[in-house]
Structure 1
Amino acid sequence: MALGRHSDFNRLWFGQTVSNFGDKISLLALPTLAVVFLDGGAFEVGVLGALRFLPFLLLAPVAGLVADRFSRRSIMIVADLGRFLALGSIPLAFALDSVTMAHVYVVAALAGVLTAFFEVSYQSWLPQLIGTENLVEGNTKLQISRSVAEAVGAGAGGALIQLLGAARAITADALTFLVSLVALLVIRHRDTRAKVEETKTSAKAEMKEGLKTLFGNPVLRGLFTANVVVNLGAAMGDALLIVYAYKVLDLSPGQVGAAFAVMSVFVIVGAILSEVVTKVLTVGRTLVLTAVVLGAGYILVPTGGAVAGFAGLIVVQAVIGFVSPMFDIHVLSLVQGVTPNEQMGRVSGTALSAVYGALSIGYFAGGALGEVLGLTGGLAIAGALSIIGGLTLLGSPVAAIKEMPGGDAPADPDASDSPGADPAQSSADGTKVGA
C-alpha cells in the first residue's frame, strides 16, 4: 500500500480512528443522559438528533468558504479543541450536580457546528496531504475505521455507559478529540496553497465561483446529482427498514441487532474490496452498479422477509452493507480528485450541505410514505430512487471514467521514498475516461 509509510497520513488515520469510536459513545450517551437522568422524552431525543444534521445543512457552505480562505489543518485543530471542551463540560457539570437539558442542547449544537467545519476542512485537506493518486486508498482506510466504529463502538459505548453512567462516559468521547488534536499537531505537512491568508475577494464572489465549479464541471455535476438522489432514497429506506423488521417480520431487538451487525461487517468487507472491484469494472461502472444494487436491496426487503424472514433480512442487509461503502468511497475520491484544490472547501461544503439535506428529507419522507402507502410501497419507492440516482450517471461523463485521476503525492517528511509534487495542480483534465 502506497500510504503504508506515509507517516503524516498514518497520524491523521490514527486520530480519526480514535475519534470515530468516541463519536459512537456520545451518539448513545447524550440521548441516554437526556432520558434517564434529565427525564426527557421523544421530543428531546429528536432535538438532539436534529442537531447532528442541521449544522451541515445550514453551515457547510460557509465552512467550505472558510476552509478555502484559511489553513485547513488549523481549522481542524480548533474544531477538535472546541469539541473536547464542549463535551468535557458535561461530566464537569454532572459532578457539580448542575447539568441541565439546555446545557446538553448547547453542547450538542456546538459539537455539530464544529464537526461540520472539521469534516469540510478534512475532506478538502486530504488530497493535498496524500496526493490524488492515493485518494482511494486513503478514503478506504478511513472508511474502514468508521465502519469498525459502527460495528464495535456502539456496543462498547453501551457497556461503558452501563459501567460509568452516561455523563462520565462522555468524558471518553471528549478525550478522543484530544487524541485527534494531538495527532494533527504532530503532522508535519502544511498547506502549500498560494494563498491561505486574508483575501480581497468578496465572500459572495467566492461562493459563486465554487458553485460554478460544482455545477459547471460535468463530472462534478453528475456526481452531485447522483449522490443526492441515492442518499435521499437510502435515508427513506433506512427509516422504513427497522419498522418493517419489527412490525411485519415480528423480529426481536436481538435479531434486528444481529442483522445490523451483519451489515456492519459487510460494510467493512465492501470498503476493503472497493479498489479491487473498480479495477475489474472501472470506476464509472462501479458507481452505477453499486447504486442500482443498493436500491434493489431495499426493494427486495419485503421479498426476502416473506420468503426467509430473519435470514432474508440478513442477506439483504449484507448486500446493502457491501455496496454502500464502495459508492461512498469512490464518489468522495473522485470529487477530491477532479476539484481544483483552491476551491475544494466550497465544493465539498456545498455538496455536504445538499447530501445532509437529502438525508434529513429522506428520513422524514420515508416515515410519511410508510404511513400513507404502507411499508412495502415505501421501501419500493426508496429503492427506486436510489436506482434512479445511479442511472443518472449514465448521462454524464462519470460512467466512462476508468480510474481515478493521477497525481504526485506531497512529500512526507518522515518517508524518504514519498514523491513531492503539489497535488493542487490536479484537475478534471487528469481524469482518465474511456469506453
Structure 2
Amino acid sequence: MFRNVALFRDRGFATFWVATLAYSAAQWMERVITGWLALGLGGDAFAVGVVLAARLVPFVVFGLVAGSVADRFSRRWILITVAIAAALVNLSLAAFLARDQVTLVLLIVIGFVTGVIQVFDLTSRGAFAVDLVGREHAAPAIALNAVGLRFFGAVGAFAGGIVIPTLGSAWGYVVVAGLFLLSAALVVVVRPTARTARADVLTEPLAGMVAGTARLIWRNPAVRMVVIASVASELFGYSHQAALPSLARDALAIGPEGLGALTAAASIGATISVVVLSVIPATTARPPLLTLTLAIWGVTLAGLGLTSAPWLALAFMLGVGACASAIDVLQQTIAQMAVPDRERGRATGVWVFSIGLNVIGLLQVGAIVSILGPAVALVGNGLGAITAAIVIATLNPRYRWRGRPSIVGA
C-alpha cells in the first residue's frame, strides 16, 4: 500500500491526480443534475434511459478512433481540450436553463456531445497516468487514478443532489463548468516528460491505426475477453443507472437529495473497492477477480430492486458501486497489460467501444422500469449479471479461480 502511495512523490502524477478529482466531481454532479432534469421533462425512467443512452452512442461510433488518437497525439493536450469543451457544454446548458429553453430533445443532443467528450477523455486519462509513472507501476497508477475518480465522484454526486433544490440546476451547471476548467488548468501545469511526449512522435496514419485497433480485438485473446466481459457488464450492470431516478422518486420517495445520496453511496463503495484493488499483489490473477465481482454485482443489484427501505438501498448501492468500479479497473488493467506501450491507447479504445453497447442496456432498463417498475428491471439485470459471470468462466479457464496467476489473463 505504501509503495503505491509513494507514486504521489512524483509531482506530475500528484498534480494530475488532483485534476482527476476536479474532473470527477464535475462529471458526477452533472450526471445527477441531468438525470433529475430528464425525469422531470420526460416524466418516466425511459426518458432518463434515452438521455443516458445518447451519451453512449459516441462510444460505439468513436471508441476505436479515440483510442487511436490517444496513441497518435499528445494525451496531455487531449485531456486539456476535452475538459475545456466539457466546461463550455455545461455553461451552454446553464444559459438554456436560465432562459427556460431546455427540452428533452436538447438534453439528448447535449448528451451526445457529452458522450463524444467522455470518449476522448477515457481513452487518454488512464494511459496518461501510466505515462507519468511508467509501465512498471501501471496497476497501482490505474487504481489510484480510479480512487480519485470514485471518491470525488461521491462528493460531486452528493453536491448535485443538494444543488438542485437549493441553487437550482442552472447554477449547478455553472459550478460543474468551473470544476472542469480547474481540471484543465491543473493538467496544463503537469510538465511533459519523455514518457508523456511519446505519443507526439508516432507517425502511423490515423486511418491505419483505427483499422489496427479493430484487428487488435481478433488477434489478442486477452483483449477479446475484455470485450466479452465488458459487453456483459454494460448490458446487465452499468445500465442500472437508468432506474435510479425512478427508484428514488417513485419506489423510495426520497426525492433529488435521495438520488444524490444513492449516487454518492455508489461512489463511496467504488472508492473502497479501488483502494482494495490497489493493494492486491500484481501476482494475483485479475481475470478470476473480474468474474467473481460480476457475480456479486448481480446479487447487489437484485437486492437493491427488492428493498423498500432507503437505508438498505444505500447499503446495497455501496455494493453496487464497489462492484462497478472494480469491474471497471480490472478491465482496464487486463487490457493495458495485454499490449505493448505503443498500443495502450488503442487497447483502452476497444474497452471504450464496448462501453458504448450500454446503449442497449439503458434503453432496456428504461423501458422495463416504465412498464413494470424499477424492482423488476434491477432483479432481472442482477440475474443476468450472475449468469454472465458463469458463462465467462465457462468460456475461458483463466477466468476461473484455478487458472494460472496472471495480471493480464487471456
2:6 is paired with a residue whose SS is coil
Report what 1:16 is aligned to.
Answer: 20
Partner SS state of residue 188, structure 1: coil
Q: Secondary structure at the match of 1:3?
A: helix
What secondary structure is seen at the aligned counterpart in 1 of 2:200? Answer: coil
**Deviations, residues 299-354 of structure 1 (Å, cap 9, x unaligned):** 4456x649xx5565455434333333222222212211222222223332232122
What is the identity percentage for the equivalent residue pairs of Structure 1 and Structure 2? Answer: 24
**Contact residue 52 and residue 242 of structure 2 kept, 8 A:** no
Q: 1:32 to 1:313 in 2, by over 3 A?
A: closer
- What is the rounded CA distance, in whole Å, between the counterparts of 2:262 and 2:178 in structure 1? 31
1:225 CA drift (Å): 0.8
Partners of 2:172 and 2:317 in 1: CA distance? 30
Structure 1 residue aligned with 2:356: 356
Q: Greater CA deviation, 166-175 or 329-338? A: 166-175
Q: Once superposed, what is the RMSD of the aligned Cα atoms?
A: 3.8
| Structure 2 match to 1:319 | 319
Kept after mapping to 2: 8 A contact 1:128/1:341 = no
- The change in CA–CA distance for 1:324 and 1:89 in structure 2 (over 3 A counts) is closer
How many residue pairs get aligned? The number is 396
Instruction: Write the letter of the residue equivalent to 2:58.
Output: P
Please say if 1:166 is aligned against 2:166: no
Equivalent-residue separation in structure 1 for 2:242 and 2:125 (angstroms): 29
Q: Is the 8 A contact 1:230 1:385 kept in 2?
A: no
Alignment match, 2:385: 386
Structure 1 residues 15 and 374: alpha-carbon distance in aligned structure 2, compared to 1, 3 A threshold: closer
Structure 1, unaligned runs of 5 or more: 405-430
Q: What TM-score do the two structures reach when normalised by structure 1?
A: 0.75
- Computing the radius of gyration from Cα coordinates, the structure with the larger value is 1
Partners of 1:288 and 1:390 within 8 A in 2: yes
Q: CA deviation at 1:21?
A: 1.3
Distance 2:277 2:199 in 1: 35
Alignment of structure 1 residues 207-226 onto 2, 5 Å: 207-226=210-229
Q: Is the 8 A contact 1:151 1:265 kept in 2?
A: yes
Paired with 1:55 and 1:3, the residues of 2 have a C-alpha distance of 33
- Unmatched runs of 5 consecutive residues or more in structure 2: none
Alignment of 1:36-435 (within 5 A): 40-42=41-43, 48-91=51-94, 108-190=111-193, 192=195, 196-197=200-201, 199=203, 201=205, 203=207, 205-239=208-242, 251-253=252-254, 257=259, 261-276=264-279, 282-301=285-304, 305=307, 313-357=313-357, 359-368=358-367, 378-391=377-390, 392-393=392-393, 395-396=395-396, 397-399=398-400, 400=403, 402=405, 404=407
Counterpart for residue 26 of structure 1:
30
Contact 1:233 1:362 in 2 (8 A): yes
Q: Is this contact kept in 1: 2:79–2:121, CA < 8 A? A: yes
> Which deviates the most, 54-63 or 237-246?
237-246
Check whether the contact 1:230–1:390 (CA below 8 A) recurs between aligned residues: no
Q: Is the 8 A contact 1:278 1:286 kept in 2?
A: no
Normalising by structure 2, we get a TM-score of 0.79
**Quick check: 2:286–2:330 contact (8 Å CA) kept in 1?**
yes
Question: Hey, what's the Cα distance between the residues in 1 that align with 2:381 and 2:37?
Answer: 33
